[in-house]
Amino acid sequence: MTWTGLVVRNLFRHPLRTLFTTLAIALAIFLVCAVLTLPAALQAIFDRAASNVRVSVHHKAGLVYWLPFAFVQKVRTLPGVTAVNHWTWFGGVYDEPKNMFPNFAVDPDNVGEMWPDYRIDAVALDRFRKVRNGAVVGDVTMRKFGWRVDQEVTLRGTIFPVDLTFRIVGVIPSTTGNAVILLFNRKYLEEAMEDHGGLKNVGMIWLRAERPSDVDGIMRGVDALFRNSEAEVAAETEKAFFASMFSSMQGFIRIILAVGFLSVAAVVLIAANTSAMGVRERTPEIAILKSLGFRRAPILGGLLAESLAQALVGGLLGAGGAIAMSAALRAAGTSAYAQVLGPLGSFRMSPMVAGEGIAIALTVGLVAGLVPAWNGARLNVVEALRRLF
């Protein structure tokens, strides 16, 4: 018989009660870890997806409004601009309407230069330039539909009244920031649209700056260039562009954080109640221990150790579960489920968050166990014995 043995035996006195309390703590810590990961995960998504030398130029009224294609030529003249490309949202679906994914008409000549972070290999880029109906496709989308390089696939137009058949000439690896898109040659779309009034607009223009310090000047230049034009534009860095898309989520994240911490508070109350109940039930035993000569400190320590041990196990389970979830999402994020998961597929839980989760669990154990343990340790043995016998 040892002190540790006594603590462990007491923990398993009511196995179901211990199990449920531990699971409640584990669940709360799991939630807290997930919630604490959210802001950092979103930041990571922005960081991966965005470059700080790319500037997006789109219609000031919103992304759904077209810009004249002539604007592409105009922005090339701005000082500090090293590359210009553009996106025209084709809105094609594969086989059936639910299979919608981002597909854009672009200029194939400088895709590698504009988006080096997509890590499309040189051979694929070369074929992309040469094959009129060539397309480079994100690895996630490739796997989702079971496509392979050199396969021909047809997308049905939902914005344009044409269906286009593409030959897949290259893949955007899943480790990059945008492994779901399909890029194809704008000229192919222009040709297809000749019988339908032609294609004279563009959805968004991308500029690449030589260095980050040039970006502000370029954005001011874009604003000046198109002020009072037929279509006023908004220019922003790619990071700001994505951030503004997600800005509405910030309030939502704050609510999630609050709910997460409220759930921890609820668990503290549950655990404290369970602990107090346990101490009340063991009043006779505590009285006997004191009568045997056990002082207040070891009794306080023993009761607190039970509460802390339970919280630690709950914390390890919760944080471990969150790590496992993060790993599973990461794995799923590079699989066919990536589109279903969306940004969740980019979640990464840091060891720091796991540590914070375990620290919170221990705090829960301490707070929940302190008052009952203190009362137990201060038990008046004569009063307790008198009540008992």
List contacts with other proteins (CB under 8 A).
1-3, 5-6, 9-10, 12-13, 284-285, 287-297, 381-382, 385-386, 388-389
Q: Which is nearer to other proteins, 124 or 377 (CB)?
A: 377
Beta bridge partners of 106: 185
In 3D space, the residue among 350, 296, 286, 298 whose CA is nearest the CA of residue 322 turns out to be 350
Q: Which is nearer to other proteins, 3 or 252 (CB)?
A: 3
Q: Which is nearer to other proteins, 50 or 384 (CB)?
A: 384
For helices 248-281 and 296-333, angle between their N-to-C axes, nearest 10 degrees: 150
- Residue 96 Cα distances to 108, 145, 147, 157, 296, angstroms: 27, 12, 16, 11, 73
Q: Which is nearer to other proteins, 7 or 111 (CB)?
A: 7
Residue 356 corresponds to which tokens in the numbers above? 């914070």
Decide: 284 and 388 in contact? Cβ < 8 Å. yes
Residue 306 corresponds to which tokens in the numbers above? 């039970």
Q: Which is nearer to other proteins, 130 or 386 (CB)?
A: 386
> Closest distance between other proteins and the C-beta of residue 9, in Å?
4
> Closest distance between other proteins and the C-beta of residue 329, in Å?
41
> Closest distance between other proteins and the C-beta of residue 385, in Å?
7
What is the distance between the alpha carbons of residues 147 and 333, in angstroms, rounded to a whole number? 18
> Closest distance between other proteins and the C-beta of residue 298, in Å?
8
Beta bridge partners of 183: 104, 136
Segments of the chain assigned E as strands: 54-59, 67-68, 81-89, 93-94, 103-106, 134-138, 152-156, 163-172, 182-185, 201-202, 204-209, 233-237
> Closest distance between other proteins and the C-beta of residue 382, in Å?
5
> Closest distance between other proteins and the C-beta of residue 312, in Å?
20
Q: Which is nearer to other proteins, 17 or 330 (CB)?
A: 17
What is the distance between the alpha carbons of residues 340 and 382, in angstroms, rounded to a whole number? 65
> Closest distance between other proteins and the C-beta of residue 286, in Å?
10
Residue 155 corresponds to which tokens in the numbers above? 């997308």
Decide: 303 and 376 in contact? Cβ < 8 Å. yes
Q: At 109, which helix (H) or strand (E)? A: none
Decide: 235 and 55 in contact? Cβ < 8 Å. yes
> Closest distance between other proteins and the C-beta of residue 287, in Å?
8
Q: Which is nearer to other proteins, 254 or 295 (CB)?
A: 295
Q: Which is nearer to other proteins, 251 or 293 (CB)?
A: 293
